[in-house]
Every structure is written in structure tokens, then in C-alpha cells.
Amino acid sequence: MATVTQPSTGPMRDFASVFGKLRPHMAALDAFLREQIAAFEPEIRAMADYCIDASGKRIRPALVFLSGGNDRNLVQPELVKVAAVVELVHLATLVHDDIMDEADLRRGRRTATREYGPEAAVLLGDALFAHALHLASQFPTPAVCRAVSDSTRKVCAGEIIQTLRRGDANVSLVDYHRVIDLKTAELFRVSCALGSELAGYVPGFVIAAARFGRQLGVAYQIYDDLADFFGHEKKIGKTLGTDLHSGKMTLPLLLLLEGIESRERSELFAEIRGEKPARPAHWIAAMEDKGIFDRVALEIENELVTGEDALAPFAELAPAKGLRQLSDVLRDQVTVLRA
């Protein structure tokens, strides 16, 4: 009987289906996260539970499990705990992001800020973050706390810088890369570093895994910014061009601004700053016209290759194989956007 191979240009393969082997690890993570609810004061347990829903992609936990993986695919309690830490930090930042974006929905359900009000959501995010650090402090040395708190400060700094520079005509490509390095790549990086370190891999591999994680994070954020313009709702369920309204200066927009003449630039900035109604369809057509999709896709590919190069000397290790698969998942997703 012939094996049916899913073509890479077919329907998007999501992280969960590709990483079937992570299923026992993710099940252990979900059980662990549920147990954590009991640590919260009774009055806020339902709110914490609401945020720790199982519908997220759990990319950062996947990085922890893959970086610390072994040939027998055993579930390691230390990795489950650190996966919970990075996921809780991520969930806390989502709760706060949704307040700032005044978002009503995330993954098809009401955001915490919409459900409980922005006041409670600010504090709920804080409580989730505090609990993440509390879990981090249960390791025998303060190294996990140190890494996680440092990453968190960087994630926040990246978000602040992005927020302060919304609609700013002086944002350069260098500025954009700095923001995504802080707001996204940093937590990807630390997930790989902690996963491989706690699993006892040699320092050389920990450094390589961290490097891979960082590059994957950069590539992932660029993909996410591309999908904001090119991810038709039927493909990935996103409303198109929301970054245009929000004033976020992402890569497709920066490339477009580079390639249009000054009158058009003025019009685009008026829309970015909310002074005129946004015309995402118009600008997406302009991006298509100027080959911006391919330029962005090439940037993603370059980031992925740099990350894979870092893993190359460790190709025989179990985690290196698993991590490389994640690169391919992201490549597939870019292909789906192009279709």
C-alpha cells in the first residue's frame, strides 16, 4: 500500500498535526496548567482558567519539548514545568496586548479584557505572569527565574517600542528587526535554551538551539506580519490588514512605503494614522504589484536557513531533527499564503 504524503502546497498543516509525537507532552502540559489554577485565590480561579485555554498553538512549549527531546520521546517533568512557565508568560502578554488593541475576540472567543473589563485584565495578566515566575522559582537554582524574567522585560520593551512608534514615518527596517527580536524572538530563544539545558545537552548545543529559536522567532513574526495582509480569511481565519488600522509598522508596509512615490506615501500614512478610512485591499494590490510578497518570503527563508545552519553541527542529536521540522512547518505556511 502506497504511503500518502501530504503535499507541502496542500491545506495548511498546523503545528499540532505535524508534531503528533508531542501529543503526550502537550497533554502533560495541559494537565499541569489545569493544576496551577488551584494556586490562584478562589475569586480569580475562573478568570485564570479562562486564559489558560487549550486552543492556543503552544509554539513556545513545543520549542521547549523539542529542544530537550530524546530518542525515546519520554515526557520529562522538568520540561513540562518550564513549558508552562514560557506559555504563562506568553498568555500574560496576550491578555495585556488585547487590552491595548481593544480586541474583542481571540481565537474565536471573547478576550479577557472584553469578558472581565480592562481593569481586571491588567491585573489578571500580572497574576499570570507572577505565577509563571513562581513556577520558575521552583527549580533548584535561580537560573530559570533569571532567564525568564530577563526575557520578559525584553518582550515588554519590544512591545512598548512598537506601541510608541505606531504610525511613525521614521521607522526603518533596522528598527523593525529590533522590535521583533525583542517582542517575539526572545521568548522563542529562551524556550529553546531552557529546554536543551534542562535536558542536559552540551553547552554547544544549548547555544545552537537558542540561536535556532531566535531565528525561528524572527521568521515566525515576519510570517505573521505577512499573513496580516495576505492571509485571506478563508485560509487562516484572519481579518485582513488589521495592522494597517493599528499603525504597526511591519515589514510588508515598510517595503511598500519604500516603493511608492511621495503623494501615495502621504495617503498611506493618513490611513495608518487613522486620519482617513483605511483601504487595505488597495494597498494589498499595490504590494502584489511590487512583488513584496516574494521579498518578504525570501527574508523568512533566510532567517530559517540561518537557524538551521546553527543546528547543522548537531544533526545527529534528536532535538536537532525535531527543531528542523518546525522550520518546514513555517515554510509550508508561507506556501499556503502564496496560493
Q: Name the residues that contact a second copy, by CB under 8 A.
A: 39-41, 43-44, 47, 92-93, 96, 99-100, 116-120, 122-127, 129-131, 133-134, 136-143, 145-146, 148-150, 152-154, 156-157, 159-161, 163-164, 182
CB of 142 to a second copy, least distance (A): 4
Of residues 33, 24, 136, 15, the one with CA closest to residue 70: 24
Q: What distance in Å separates the CA atoms of residue 114 and residue 103, rounded to the nearest whole number?
A: 8
Rounded Cα distance, 255 and 295, in Å: 9
In the complex with a second copy, which residue's Cβ is closer, 41 or 316? 41
Q: How far apart are the first and last CA of the chain?
A: 30
20-24, long-range: CB within 8 Å, 24+ apart, which pairs? 21/73, 21/322, 22/62, 22/65, 22/66, 24/73, 24/75
Instruction: Give the nearer residue to a second copy in terms of CB position, either 7 or 142.
Output: 142
Closer residue to a second copy, CB minimum distance, 85 or 287:
85
d(CA 106, CA 67): 28
For residue 128, the minimal CB distance to a second copy (Å) is 9
Closer Cβ to a second copy, 44 or 286, answer by number: 44
CB of 214: closest distance to a second copy in angstroms?
Answer: 16
Exposed, middle or buried, 86 (CB in 10 Å: 0-12/13-18/19+)?
buried
Among 262, 263, 244, residue whose Cα is nearest residue 253: 244
Q: How far is the CB of 141 from a second copy (least distance, A)?
A: 7
If the CB atoms of residues 13 and 45 are measured against a second copy, the closer one turns out to be 45
Instruction: Using alpha carbons, select from 270, 248, 284, 241 the residue that is nearest to residue 101.
Output: 248
Nearer to a second copy, 112 or 336 (CB): 112
CB of 308 to a second copy, least distance (A): 29
Name the minimum Å distance from CB 182 to a second copy: 7
* Rounded Cα distance, 135 and 121, in Å: 21
Shortest distance (Å) from residue 130 CB to a second copy: 4
Cα separation of 205 and 108, whole Å?
39
Residue closer to a second copy by CB (options 25, 214) is 214
Q: Write the CB contacts of 330 (distance below 8 Å, at least 6 apart in sequence).
A: 216, 219, 220, 223, 300, 304
Question: Which of 43, 261 has the CB closer to a second copy?
Answer: 43
**Proportion of the chain in helix, strand, coil states, percent, rounded to 5:** 75, 0, 25
Q: Which residues contact 179 (CB under 8 A, 6 or more apart)?
A: 158, 161, 162, 165
